[in-house]
A and B are shown apart, each in its own frame.
Chain A
Amino acid sequence: MAKARAIVKRLKAVKNIRKITRTMELIATARFKKAMDRATEAATYTRKISELVADLSKSAMTFTHPLLQAHPEEKHSILLILTSNRGLCGGYNSGVLRMAQRRMKEAQSPAAVELGHVLQVEVSGKRGLNFMRFQQRPVSESYTHFEDRPAFEEIEKLADRFIELYVKGKLDRLDVAYVQFHSIARQNAVVETLLPVGQLAIATRGSAQKSETEKQENIEYEFVPSAKEILEEIVPASFKARLFKCFLDAAVSEQIARMVAMKGATENAGSMIGDLTRNYNRARQSQITSELSEIIGGAAALE
């Protein structure tokens, strides 16, 4: 009797959990769609910026910008880690943190320490903060207000601070560890160097083929002011757009990771319910059989 009842209890618990994970999956799906829409809308801006850069660089061959120049010595660097505020999203956070740790180890290697390399770690998301606390690693800045809808205005503030530090020479390298979004089926954790801005590598992913077609039509533009001055303004703008894109990618990937994790959890709960139901039926049956045999045995003893 006791066994069957214990199974019933567990069965109920598993059914409840399945309900919850199923709901979470649906919520994650809805959020993913929203985040995805935002990301696709934002892609227009980055695509246009890189198109402009391609147009401009044709007419201004030589030009320099403080953000484009790598500093001769790499002493101060910042690693920005984008994690989620909430858990239950599979390997999302651990993937990012693994990549981030690799970069942190690199900065702590004897060769880097000899050069006086200082790496500051900035973390966005409670999950990453908890991890750093566990590792007892100091975190210089922490953000928890970037949910699944990062606003450009907030990221601009961040970007402005990085630009200022870099121009003043207080920052020599900026890396961002986040989960890059390729497609619904493929996202991978990466550490990307955003500063110094690679040699006109402003053309972001996915825009490469687009700018190819643009190159064919050669249009004589009128530049107001000169192409050089516009490029100088465009470099920080494109850096901001790239940083924003990192946040958007991270938001989209988080929802996908949660969606997949919750889908798996729901399926597991389903198969567990099947197993438990079978076990329960078996336990009940054997209980009935034993009760029957007891009655029959008792009746036989009376005769």
Chain B
Amino acid sequence: MVGHKDLRFVLVTPEKTLIDQQVESLRFPLFDGQMGVLPGRAPLVGRMGYGELQFHEASGVRSFFVDGGFVQIKSGVVTVLTNRAIPVAELKRPQAEDQLRQANTRPAHTDLELAAKARDIQRAQQMVALAKRSS
């Protein structure tokens, strides 16, 4: 069963497949914290959170901001399904801060609205943090 020495990483958004290549390792946010994957990882299906997805390839490290979604690890292939994936270098700090402000000031009354608000705040915070680092 074990024996997949290499790791293939596939990043899929509803619009297109952004990345499909061999990587050395990768790291991404699950719903409750970061998770790292090395070759030979056991099969897994997980729900992702918001934040930075980082992977090491032969030529260096690349990172994306991912907006929730799912991850599936199976026979040496890591598939990440996410609604949006933005290269960290392309994140705009003012925009991200604007989103955070909007999320913070939005009124929420019902449980559903509160949950949505908390989620949006968390997402915007992650975006701001990443944008700050890259700028």
Which chain A residues have a beta carbon within 8 Å of chain B's beta carbons? 38, 41-42, 44-46, 48-49, 51-52, 55-56, 151-153, 156, 164, 167, 219-225, 227, 229-230, 233-234, 237, 240-241, 244
* B81 lies within 8 A of A48 (CB): yes
* Closest chain B CB from A226 CB (angstroms): 10
Cα(A249)–Cα(B61), bound, Å: 37
Cα(A230)–Cα(B81), bound, Å: 13
CB within 8 A of A230: which of B42, B43, B46, B83? B46
* Closest chain B CB from A81 CB (angstroms): 22
Closest-by-CB residue of B relative to A224 is B46
Closest-by-CB residue of A relative to B18 is A41
Per-residue CB contact flags for chain B residues 20-62 toward chain A (1 = under 8 Å, else 0) read: 0000000000111001000000111111000000000000000
B32 partner residues in chain A, CB cutoff 8 A: 224-225
Cα(A164)–Cα(B110), bound, Å: 12
* A45 lies within 8 A of B43 (CB): no
Q: List 14 A-B contacts (CB under 8 A).
A: A38-B15, A42-B14, A44-B16, A45-B13, A48-B12, A49-B81, A51-B72, A52-B45, A222-B45, A224-B30, A224-B35, A224-B44, A225-B31, A233-B47
Size of chain B's interface in residues, with CB distance under 8 A? 26
Known contacts A223-B45, A233-B70; is-contact A152 B14 (Cβ 8 Å): yes
Which chain B residues have a beta carbon within 8 Å of chain A's beta carbons? 12-17, 30-32, 35, 42-47, 69-70, 72, 74-75, 79, 81, 83-84, 112
Known contacts A55-B45, A156-B83, A220-B43; is-contact A230 B70 (Cβ 8 Å): yes
A227 partner residues in chain B, CB cutoff 8 A: 45
* A230 lies within 8 A of B14 (CB): no
* A224 lies within 8 A of B45 (CB): yes
Cα(A42)–Cα(B32), bound, Å: 28
* B30 lies within 8 A of A45 (CB): no
* Closest chain B CB from A269 CB (angstroms): 38
Top 4 A-B pairs ranked by shortest CB distance? Answer: A41-B16, A224-B46, A152-B14, A222-B44
Cα(A46)–Cα(B84), bound, Å: 15
A153 partner residues in chain B, CB cutoff 8 A: 84
Closest-by-CB residue of B relative to A41 is B16
Closest-by-CB residue of A relative to B84 is A153
* A44 lies within 8 A of B17 (CB): yes
Closest-by-CB residue of B relative to A241 is B14
